[in-house]
Amino acid sequence: MAIYWRCYLPAERIKLYANEIKPRLQRLKREALKIEPKLVVRINTIGATLSKFKDELLDKKQFLIEFINEFYYDIQTYLYDIKPRLNLSQEEITKFLKEKNLSVTEWYWYSEILPMWFSLQDPKFSNWIEKLLLEQYTGNDQALISALTQKINAKSDGSASHRYILDLSMATDLLG
């Protein structure tokens, strides 16, 4: 199981299949219209890509389904758990992080990096979505990245996170 399945918010993350993800993304899109309109563009792009293919075909594409799951859960977490807390004091944010067992690195991912990604133009986006669809993304360094992430997280003062968006769009594999 990939590192990103280790979950903080909501309490459980289960693997979703294409027929489950498509309507859930539509619900998040409606919520994003009210809270974070720039995010709607990303959701629409991913939704349009998914709609071109039958669910059974999408489900067979391991890395695509993992990315879509990661995207869905990250957006859900951002909209419902992180965005409402962005204007809290540092003390309240620290309390929230402790309550949810959320690392500083993950807070940084959700509060800074992820919103920056959906707010800015991503010139690589269509290319790497295509690579995921064509199964040209192999994730051949996934075991190494997972091992590094676990090693860093095992340290009392360590914190690291791996996301597909980091790997495919931001030319890095690890946020630490």
Predicted pLDDT at 8: 39
For helices 18-35 and 62-77, the axis angle rounded to 10 degrees is: 30
Query: Residue 85 is encoded by which pair of tokens?
Result: 């807390």
Predicted pLDDT at 5: 33
> Is residue 174 domain-resident?
no
Number of folded domains that form the chain: 1
Predicted pLDDT at 4: 34
Predicted pLDDT at 67: 87
Predicted pLDDT at 10: 47
pTM across the whole model: 0.80
Q: How far apart are CA 114 and CA 112, in angstroms?
A: 6
- Enclosing domain of residue 130: 3-169
Predicted pLDDT at 1: 29
> Is residue 126 domain-resident?
yes
> Is residue 31 domain-resident?
yes
Q: What is the block-wise mean pLDDT of the chain (176 residues), using blocks of 10 residues?
A: 36 84 94 92 90 92 88 92 94 93 86 88 81 77 62 62 59 48
